[in-house]
Every structure is written in structure tokens, then in C-alpha cells.
Structure 1
Amino acid sequence: MEMDVHDELLAAVLFIVFTMFTLWVFRKLWAVRKRKTINDTSSKSGHYWSPIEQNEQQHNYCSGCKQHVVSGYECDNCLLKVDNINCLRAISTKIHCKVNQTLCRKETFDHHWICGNIGADLFCEVCEELCGGGVGLQDFRCSWCWRVVHTKCKPKFTLSCDFGRLQRTIIPPYCVTTRKPGNRNQRMMLIKSPFQAVIDKIEIPTDIEKWRPIMVIVNPKSGSGAGKQLLRNFRAHLHPAQVVDVLKSNISASLRWIDEHPEVDVRILIAGGDGTICSALDQIDTLSRRIPVAVLPLGTGNDLSRWLKWGKKCGGDIDVIKLMEDIQEAEVTLVDRWTIDAESQKKLGVRLQSNKTLSMTNYVSVGVDACVTLGMQNTRESIPRAMSSRLLNKFLFFTFGTKDVFERVCKGLNERIDLYLDDVHINLPDIEGLIFLNIPYWGAGVKPWATYNASHRQECDDETIEVFAVTSSFHIAQMQIGLASPLCIGQAKHAKLVFKGNHSFPMQSDGEAWVNSAGTVLISHKCKTAMLRKAEKQSTGCGMFF
């Protein structure tokens, strides 16, 4: 059978696409293996090398050959830059990383100076003139306190490092001993990579007043690449043992030292979407004491972050020093957390679906709201990670919301469920969605309970949950632009949903959606978690009038 011209052209195109895809996969695998080999060979120096991103290559110079960096590597911890493997190996024997604990002594803790690659908008600590800029390696920056000095001014500057504005936040390397996870007998005198060590022992530094370290938990996949950039940014500013990568480290193991050292006052920052925050809070709740937690918004909705005043979104180039100062000054507020027990009914002695138990901080819903989230979630999982973004997530929400306006798959939800609030059966109006709300914000910034605050005041620590309903996805869209209000159902200390018939129901909790079979869902109070709300700074002088 002979192929016509169109078939031959199609076969050629498919062959080219397959070949390019194979080469792309091979290149990615080779890059991972190459990076691992590089970090194994330079582990004695403490450096952890990552490829320099394309947008980072402007005006950077190699610390080895002093040439302009075209394609090279950067240490995540001290930001030392090289342009090839030979320079990397040579510089690793000459310049140790800031986390090399064999060189860290309290009595003689000096600045860890890195030459060159300094931003052109920084000022010298000695002469107060601009540093950096220009061509080639010039001037110095300390990897711990982030102060910069001119080359000619460096001899005039103090030798000892006090960690600068990060003094209260950072864990001094001479006060901490790290170890490999799961091996308490093998302490590490240096960190081979930031995610291969957890804190084993820690001492309170006597030379720092009001010391309160901050542990940082980051999901590098969140925020359309912002999470990865944030992870490297935090490692560069703090002790790498303070920064937990949720993809490569066990959160519980990384925080175990907090229970073993109750004398240390500590705070935690979680950077990620709603799913990351909920998962991390589950681990934090297992600690023997309440640790105040701040959140950094890297998801799509970010309703918890909005309420705690940390913003509605965040990029990877955030000012880490300013953020750490804000967390130190933040106010502690208690927030209820709830347990969701979804029990599937049995048929012929066999459950239709395995039971599901999870925690909720923001809200849990059934119906049209969860249906839109489920459609977006399934579509997002089928899209390559490189193409995912917060803008794409919002577009998917809009697409599936518009689709449901015409399909209305959750129409008549009130006839298929029974709702009990504090064991009292509630007659529901004609609705398509039911939401159990724990915080003031929902649906990426909507405040659904604001209309009813006068008669049914909402508090986030009163062990009471607010329940409201929506009539359609179009109703949700109207609420998001302020043209409609939700249907108030009531408040309760605990709630129960009974799904009738043989239908499956879309549900979601804190942005994570699933399909729940017929059965019973119980919502009960779990605990109170200490959260950090960003303090509002009062304006003074003439600025308060503008």
C-alpha cells in the first residue's frame, strides 16, 4: 500500500516531533545527573551549585577566570558564580561556602566576603557611595549580613559579622549542628546540599538580643516558577538548614528539633498554595507547642494570605530581609482548623469508595464551586509543568465556570443532600453549591459573610463554622464583582452532610478537589492554630495625610 504525499508529510512531522521530544528528555536527565555529579565533587567546600537561569546571566562574572558568564553555575547558599566545570572545581578548593561549619567559630566569626556580581543600587557601608556596577569583578558582599563595601574600603570595615538586619532571624552556623535525616548518630560537620540536612542540636546565641529564628517551608513548584526562585532566595539569606524544600525534605523531620528545644522561641513561614499550607499545618499541629505561622501566597486564590494581610500573590524576587522583619513584628492570632470525615456508604458489604479524612483551614464545599475546581484541577494535571501558571489557572477557572453556566450539572443539589447543623435538619432552598466557611475570604478575595456580620458575627477562633449557598456558577461570578450576595444558611459547632441516592458529588477542601460517592460527611472542630497577621504600621508626619 503506497502512501500519498499527505501521509508522508504527516509521518515526517511526527518523526521530527518524537525525535525532538526524546532529545529534550535526554537533555533534562543529563542535566540532573550532571548537577548531582558536580555537587558530589564539590561537597567538601559546602557549595551547592545550580545552573544560572537565562535571565540571570546579564552582567555576571566568573569568580574563577573573571570572564563574563555565558552559561554557568551559581551556589544557592553564597551566590558564588562560575562559568564552567573547570572553574567550578578550581574555585571550590579556594573559596569555601558560608555553611561550611568547620570554618565557623563563635570567637572568630568573620564576614564571608564574595567578590563582585553586586547590584548597582547598593551603597558601601564605609563611604556610603554606590557599589557594584561596571565591568568585571569589583567590590565585596558578605553572604551572611548582606553588607557591601568597596575594595578600597574593605580594610577599614570591621572584621566580625553580626548578621546585620537578619540578626534576630538567622541561625548562626556556630550555634547549630546538623545531621542526615533519619540518622541521629551521624552528625554532619558540613551541609553537602541544603535539603540533605536537618537540625540536630541548637544553642541560643548569647550575643544576640531577642533572638527568634524563622523556619521557612517552600514548595518550589508553586507560583509558576516563583517557588523555585524563592527557595534559592531564602537559602542565600538564611542558614540553609532553616529552609525546607517540601519536595525533597520531610517536614516533620525538619521541625522535630523544635520539640526537643522548647527553650527556643521560633516562628515558621510557609510559602506555597492552599494545598501546601494545609499539608504543612497538619505537620505543625503535631508539635507539642503552638508555633506561630505566617504564609506567603504562591497559589491562585490565596484567601488565607489575604486575610492575614500577607498579600494576594507573591513573586520570587521578594525582599527577604524586609519580609523577615515583618514576620518578627507580626501579631499572633488563633485560627480554628476543622476535620473532614467523608464516609462512603456500603453496598453488599463493600464500600463504594475508601473513606477520606483531611483537615481544613479555609473552607470546604460541595456542588458547583467544587465542580469548577475539579475540572480545573484535572486539566492542570494533564498540562506539562513548564506551561503551568497562575494566569492559566485563572483562565481554567473562567472556562469551567462559563461551561457550567450552560450545563448546570449540580442543579437540584438541595434535593440530593440532607444538611444537619448541630444535629438540626436544615431545609435548603434551590441551590447548586454549599460552602462551609472558616475565614472571612473565599473564592479569591470575596467576603461572603460580610453581609451577615451584624446579626451573625464571624470569628475565626470561636469553634463555629459559617454555612452559605450559591445558586449557580453565574451567581459566583456576580459575587466576585460585588453584584450579588450569598444565601445565608447558618452557623454551627459541627455539621453533617448526607448524600442520598447513587450520585457522586464533587467536593473541595482548601482548593483540593475530589469526587465523593454517596455517604456521609462529618465536619468537626480539630484544633486552634497560631497564625501570624502582618502588623499595620502607622504613618507619621505629613505622610499620614496622603
Structure 2
Amino acid sequence: MGGSSSKLTETELKQLQEFSRYSSRKLQQVWNEFNDFLLSENMSKTSARKHHELTEAEFARFIKTYFTWETDDAFVHRLFEMFDADKSGTVSFKELVVSASVLESGSTEEKLRFLFKVYDEDSNGVLEKEELDRILSQMCAVSQALGYDTTSIRPVLSEMLAKMDPSNVGFISLEKWIEAGTKFAPILVALGIDQTTYNQQRILEGSHQWYLRQSKKLRYCNVCTKTIGINKSSVVCQVCRLVAHDACSPNASETCRITYNKLNASTNDHHWVEGNFGHADCAVCHEGHCGSVRGLAGLRCAWCKLSVHNDCKEKQSPVCELGQYRQLMLPPTAFCLRELNHVVADAAGSIAGGAAAAAAGSVADGSPDYSTIESPLVIVPPPNTTPIVVFINPASGGNQGVKLLRTFKNLINPRQVFDLQQGGPMAGLKQYLHVPNLRIICCGGDGTVGWVLAVLDKLKLPSPPPPVGVIPLGTGNDLARTLGWGGGYGGEIKRVLQQIADAETVLMDRWSVAFDVADPNAESDKVPLDIVNNYFSIGVDAEIAHRFHTMREKFPEKFNSRARNKLWYLELGTKDALQHSCKNLHKHIQLEVDGQAIDLANGPALEGLAVVNIPSMYGGANLWGSDEKMGKQDMGDRKFEIVGLFSSMHMGRIRSGLAGSAHKIAQGSVIKLTTTKLLPMQIDGEPWMQSIVTITISHKNQVVMLKHRGSADLPAESSQPEMRSQKSNSSLAAQPAPAK
């Protein structure tokens, strides 16, 4: 967060949440960006805090920065009029978050209604030719920003807008606008409406989940059978891989994969999709290739990926054995609807029970006991399987998260895959809470893993809890490195799934952080986290991280690759080496470990201090080292390690491997740390500036994590008798096929 940003009060957060679609965390983020923008307009901090109104000129500059839109002045003017709800001639922060939250977090229909009003410049209730021309230009600009060829997509978008006016009356009504907007995938994308949001809201079993793609090789439309040229746009179903021209997608007659058991069936049938898979051996005749690059030929099952000639289909058993991922997959037969009267009773009971639980404060934060709320679907996995539920952060790793979301929806049952940008992990965890032998997979950075673990804390889990695995996206990924999953995802999903099936389990400590602030009114950032999974640090490394995060929020386009991010860290670290911003840190903190005072003032001069829970920090550096004279580091021994850093240069040498370890200070179970001035701090890579405070770190709980088998030694969790059932020695290939 920006260092200049002040925090919203609890009262302000609650009031804004009543009127907007944003969570408290998102509201604080928007407020920080709003506040930083005001400061960038050369206002003082005091003026920025009081100045909650934007003129039209200020609004135009803020919108283009916040949404990164390329828009003309007329569009921004209409947007300003829409945001200015009280017609005061300015837009307040409240008006800003109310309207912006609809554009970012509202339903598809709400977004379409809002944009209709923006484009309807004369407010006559219809979109006329001049207004439609402006929409087309805006959509082409968005498409170009997304990397699509506008010469090929402009005629398609133009044709789709024309189809909204089938009677050729010269205008489009709101009803036709909404109908077309929820039907044509390219229009949704070009309008800036997230197609993933639309697909998650549209719970129509058998509906395709389209996404827009520019073909890198020759493909064929599964609707009209005609070619889709190289570098031409098309839509692809992320679940079954059906391919269609943009304009043909509404006419796709074939349904998508059925993901739950509608008819109480005991077996799962193949779901055949024709063509567009290149050469593959036929599973029936084993002769020749059943795919082709010359047209739609051959059939491939969207479940098991089996390929057959069209003529051989009748000779292939209709029963699908789910292929090589069956150990991790929940077939449709595993999902059964509860009887309707049970659903009604459960829903009523859940609402009443949730209110009672919240009133009684059954969970520390007053939230209801979610473990008692049941899903309309009963999940009964096949025997001898270890099903996974996958949580993916599409924002992680550039475009990797989006691609991985689509890949998982195609490889396993899409009901097992959740987009964390669409409501977070709570819904998925509630649904899968009681599934036996469940494994939770987090695809994202360490922050994504921490998010899922924090929600698990609220869910009164059975004992033992499901183990959590990591597919690392983005940079850093210290927890993933510790567990043997590496520092980033290389795109080899088949290998990763095999490793998940073979993984063993280990225990990991988690730590609570309590803050006793000396002066609540002192200038200080909002503390981002109160639980430590990886590390807590104060001083030079937190200062560099804070500068990095501040710059990334202001200039996100400069931080779009791992290599570039590392260069930024190097530059910021070099600047700090010259400035020594945290010089003599040891004179401004008092440290107590397990009730015993640690004399830092008479020790070596420090510029940083870190409390580490795992043997990886800064993207792979082991600060404690392998020397066991002061005790061996173990992420599950209910102890943490405390180390000191002499300077940013010392930190750089540790990161590069030129220095063996940091300055070892102590091991312990409870730490008390008191500061005497404003200092930079960070928890698990989330930095902030903290006023004078006394911090207490103590053991919270232990969680079960999936460790890559064969990685560097960690104490195996299976030594705990009550956890042994979680361990699986079976590989994907070794699983017996389901009975036909």
C-alpha cells in the first residue's frame, strides 16, 4: 500500500460496505489509491484527508489511472455524470466506490445496465446509431489493448451489434442490450465485463463457458464446420474445448460436460467433442491417426481425453473411466442432489443457525459456524481416491493464473475449481469440508495460500484438517520452495498433478501477532495481516519491500514480469545501501523471547530483524542456515527463529548465496518486541509503516501441508499417529480403473 495513505476508520468501512459491493479489504485498497492520487495532485496530507470530492478534470485523471482505460473525453464525461449521483458537480469517495464496485463486482446484468446508461448519452432509453458507433470504437480499443487483431474482430463486433436490432429499426433497447450482452462472449470481453464472472454466475448445467482466443494454428468451428484462420479470433469452451466462430457460439447445439449426477446413474459416460486436436492414436482400432488438420475429424472425450475415429465410436464402451487423473477427480456420479425438502430445511436451518452462532460469537470474529451449512449437493467420492479442490488466483503470475484456471476446468470436474476473484475461498471450502481424503490446492503466491488458510481458521474443521498443497505463481513463493514445489510454475501440469498425487504431508506452525499501539492517533498504515505463516520482519528488508509495493501500486505496468521485478528490487536495495534508512535499528527496538530479555543494544549494529518460521525468505534464501549449534530449524516444532541483518548489502549477499546465513539471535515460542519510533515492517511479504508499538507473537495452530516427495528433508507429518490416514503412496498411474 502507498506509504502516504491513511486508513479508513471502522465506522467509515462499515458505512461504505452498506452502499457498495466491496469488501473491507478492497475498500481500504481503493481508499489508498484515491488518497495517493490526491497527493499526486500536489495536495498536502491534511488536505488530502479532508478532500473527498473530485472535480470532473480530477475524476478523468483518476479513472484513467485506476481502470487503465483508453477512453475519449465524451465517454469520461458521461461516466462522471453517472458517478455524480447527487448532481453536485463533484464525485465524492462514497459515490466513487458505489459506482465503481458495480463495474468491478456487480452481476453481469448490473454491469450491462450501468454501461447502457453511460452510452445512452441523450437518456432516451435506447441506443441509436451515433451511440452504437461510439460503443464499437470503445470495444475495439479494449480489444486492441487485450492484444487482439482489430482488423478481424471489428467486423465481428459490428455484426453482433447489428444482430441486436433484428428488425432494423435503427436503435437498440435495454432489453435487447442485456439479452445480447449475456449471450455473446466477445461483446462481454470487449465491454470489459469479466467472462469468468459471467460463467460463475450463470449456473446452467451443460452451458459452455466461452473465452475469447486468437488462434495460433488452423482450427475448425464445431458449429458451422468452416475454418478459423491463423491469428483469427474465436471462442473456446474452457470446460469441454468446443471451438466456434464468435458469431456461431450462440448456435452451438451440443451441451457442455454434465458435472453432477442428475439421474442417479452409477457410471459416467464419455463426452465426445469432434476435431481440433491434431494427430492421436485411435483407442479402438489403434490404426492411423484420428485427428486431422484438414477439417473436423476424430472424437476426443472431454473427461478422459481418449481419442477415437468417428467410425469407431460405436465400438468403444460408452462408460468413461476418467483417464489418468481419476485419483484426483470427482466424476459426476460423486455429486448427488439432496431431496428438495431437505434443501429447503437445510437452507432455513443454516440461516437461523448462522444468525444464532454470530450472536453467540461462536467464532472469534463473530462470524457463523460455516461448517454446519450444507451444500445442496452431496459429495461421495469414489473409493481409493484423494480428490482435490483447487483455488486459483488469476491475478497471480501475470497471465499464468488465467491459463491455469482454464486448464484445471478442462482436466478435472469444473466443480472442483474455484476462481478466488469471484468471492474468495469460503464457498468452495464450505462445500468440500467433509469430503474424505480431500486435498486443497492453492494456485498463486504465498499471499493466496495465507488467504485460504485464514478462511480455514473460520471453518471449525474436523480433525485432522485437509492438507494444503501449493502450485506457485508469480515471484517469491517462499512457502512453495520450502515444501519442494519450487519458485514458480513452469507449465507442466501433468507432472505437477502426478507429484500432488504422490505428495506426503508435514505440519506447519502458524503464529498470531498482537499489536499494542502507544498512540492510536499517530500516523501509521493499516496492518495488513495478523497471522504469520512464513516470516515477520522489521527494518531494511521491510523498507525495500514497502518501496517496491508503493511503486507497483502507482505504476503497475512497470512490474509485469519476474525479471523486471527482480531488477526493481536490486535498484531499491542499492539505493538503501547508500542511504542506510534503518541504520542502528537495534537501538530502537527492545526484544524479549520466552520471557527473557535479549540485549540488542550492546550487540552488533543491525539494520533489520526477522522472525522466521520456514527456511526460505527473499525468494529462496535460508536466513537461519544449516548450522545446528543454536538448534535445528523445523517448521512444525512450535518454535520460531530470530535473526539479524547488518545492512541491505548483507541481505543481498544472503540472497545471492555469498553469505551463509544471517546473524542468529534466538529460538523461541513467544516473542515480545517494542519499538521507539515509526518503522517499516512486513508479514509474509505484505509491508507497512508502523508507529510506536509493542508486538507479541505467539503460537496459533498447526496446519497440514503437502510436501513434494523427494525434496529436501522436512520432518514428515506422518509421524503423528492421528494424521497417517492423510498420507498417500499411490501414483496416478497406479490407481485401479473404476468398474464398468
Q: Quickly name the TM-score band, shorter chain normalised.
A: 0.7 to 0.9
Matched, 1:77 2:239: yes
Q: Does the aligned pair in 2 maintain the 1:47–1:96 contact within 8 Å?
A: yes
The SS at the match of 1:152 is helix
Matched, 1:247 2:421: yes
Partner of 2:165: none
The SS at the match of 2:496 is helix
The SS at the match of 1:153 is helix
Partner of 1:402: 574
Distance 1:74 1:474, change over 3 A: same
For the residues of structure 2 that align with 1:49 and 1:434, how far apart are their CA atoms? 49
For the residues of structure 2 that align with 1:277 and 1:297, how far apart are their CA atoms? 10
Partner of 1:318: 492
Matched, 1:211 2:372: no
For the residues of structure 2 that align with 1:186 and 1:178, how far apart are their CA atoms? 14
Partner of 1:31: 191
| AA aligned opposite 1:239 | N
The SS at the match of 1:280 is helix
Task: Give the number of aligned pairs.
Answer: 495
Matched, 1:442 2:617: yes
For the residues of structure 1 that align with 2:444 and 2:648, how far apart are their CA atoms? 27
Candidates 390, 396, 402, aligned match of 2:562:
390
For the residues of structure 2 that align with 1:445 and 1:38, how far apart are their CA atoms? 38
The SS at the match of 2:376 is strand
Structure 1 residues 127-526: aligned runs within 5 Å: 127-128=285-286, 129-177=288-336, 185=344, 200-205=376-381, 208-259=382-433, 261=434, 264-285=436-457, 286=459, 287-289=461-463, 290-315=465-490, 317-319=491-493, 321-346=494-519, 350=521, 353=524, 358-384=530-556, 388-428=560-600, 429-484=604-659, 485-500=661-676, 503-526=677-700
The SS at the match of 2:703 is strand
Distance 1:66 1:274, change over 3 A: same
Q: Does the aligned pair in 1 maintain the 2:261–2:334 contact within 8 Å?
A: no
Q: Does the aligned pair in 1 maintain the 2:208–2:255 contact within 8 Å?
A: no
Structure 1 residue 357: Cα displacement: 5.3
Q: Does the aligned pair in 2 maintain the 1:77–1:98 contact within 8 Å?
A: yes
Deviating more after overlay: 364-373 vs 245-254:
245-254
Q: Does the aligned pair in 2 maintain the 1:216–1:271 contact within 8 Å?
A: yes
Matched, 1:110 2:274: no
Partner of 2:170: none
Matched, 1:90 2:254: no
Structure 1 residue 124: Cα displacement: 3.0
Deviating more after overlay: 20-29 vs 374-383:
20-29
For the residues of structure 1 that align with 2:536 and 2:295, how far apart are their CA atoms? 56
Partner of 1:125: 283
| AA aligned opposite 1:441 | S
For the residues of structure 2 that align with 1:386 and 1:403, how far apart are their CA atoms? 18
Partner of 1:6: none
Distance 1:269 1:39, change over 3 A: closer
Distance 1:410 1:165, change over 3 A: same
Candidates 219, 225, 231, aligned match of 1:60:
219
The SS at the match of 1:375 is helix
Structure 1 residue 45: Cα displacement: 6.1
TM-score normalised per structure 1 = 0.83
The SS at the match of 1:343 is strand
The SS at the match of 2:449 is helix
For the residues of structure 2 that align with 1:459 and 1:134, how far apart are their CA atoms? 54
For the residues of structure 2 that align with 1:268 and 1:100, how far apart are their CA atoms? 19
Structure 1 residue 167: Cα displacement: 1.5
Structure 1 residue 130: Cα displacement: 4.4
For the residues of structure 1 that align with 2:196 and 2:669, how far apart are their CA atoms? 52
| AA aligned opposite 2:638 | E
Structure 1 residue 444: Cα displacement: 0.9
For the residues of structure 2 that align with 1:41 and 1:416, how far apart are their CA atoms? 52
For the residues of structure 1 that align with 2:590 and 2:201, how far apart are their CA atoms? 63
Deviation by residue 1:33-87 (Cα, 9 ceiling, x = unmatched):
5959996999756334333333x442222101112222121112111111123x2
| AA aligned opposite 2:211 | P
Q: Does the aligned pair in 2 maintain the 1:176–1:199 contact within 8 Å?
A: no
| AA aligned opposite 1:312 | G
For the residues of structure 1 that align with 2:664 and 2:212, how far apart are their CA atoms? 53
| AA aligned opposite 1:280 | V
Distance 1:41 1:201, change over 3 A: closer
The SS at the match of 1:144 is coil
The SS at the match of 2:687 is strand
Distance 1:171 1:82, change over 3 A: same
For the residues of structure 1 that align with 2:568 and 2:626, how far apart are their CA atoms? 29
Deviation by residue 1:121-179 (Cα, 9 ceiling, x = unmatched):
x4332344544342221111111112222333333322110111122211122321579
Q: Does the aligned pair in 1 maintain the 2:470–2:480 contact within 8 Å?
A: yes
Structure 1 residue 103: Cα displacement: 6.3
The SS at the match of 2:241 is coil
Q: Does the aligned pair in 2 maintain the 1:71–1:84 contact within 8 Å?
A: yes
Q: Does the aligned pair in 2 maintain the 1:410–1:433 contact within 8 Å?
A: yes
Partner of 1:194: none
Matched, 1:528 2:702: yes
Distance 1:437 1:253, change over 3 A: same
For the residues of structure 2 that align with 1:40 and 1:450, how far apart are their CA atoms? 46
For the residues of structure 2 that align with 1:409 and 1:291, how far apart are their CA atoms? 44
Which blocks of at least 5 consecutive residues in structure 2 are unaligned? 1-69, 77-136, 144-188, 347-373, 712-740
Q: Does the aligned pair in 2 maintain the 1:273–1:298 contact within 8 Å?
A: yes
For the residues of structure 1 that align with 2:440 and 2:488, how far apart are their CA atoms? 19
For the residues of structure 2 that align with 1:293 and 1:507, how far apart are their CA atoms? 27
For the residues of structure 1 that align with 2:455 and 2:693, how far apart are their CA atoms? 28
Q: Does the aligned pair in 2 maintain the 1:331–1:532 contact within 8 Å?
A: yes
The SS at the match of 1:96 is coil
Which is strand-richer, 1 or 2? 1
Structure 1 residue 217: Cα displacement: 0.6
Structure 1 residue 98: Cα displacement: 0.2
> Percent identity of the aligned residues?
32
Q: Does the aligned pair in 1 maintain the 2:260–2:334 contact within 8 Å?
A: no
For the residues of structure 1 that align with 2:296 and 2:415, how far apart are their CA atoms? 29
Q: Does the aligned pair in 2 maintain the 1:99–1:239 contact within 8 Å?
A: no
For the residues of structure 1 that align with 2:429 and 2:552, how far apart are their CA atoms? 31
Partner of 2:731: none
Structure 1 residue 453: Cα displacement: 2.4
Deviation by residue 1:305-325 (Cα, 9 ceiling, x = unmatched):
11211121114x432x44333
Q: Does the aligned pair in 2 maintain the 1:380–1:388 contact within 8 Å?
A: no
Which blocks of at least 5 consecutive residues in structure 1 are unaligned? 1-16, 188-197, 538-546
For the residues of structure 1 that align with 2:641 and 2:194, how far apart are their CA atoms? 53
Distance 1:499 1:226, change over 3 A: same
Structure 1 residue 405: Cα displacement: 1.1
Q: Does the aligned pair in 1 maintain the 2:444–2:471 contact within 8 Å?
A: yes
Distance 1:293 1:45, change over 3 A: closer
Coordinate RMSD, CA, aligned: 3.1
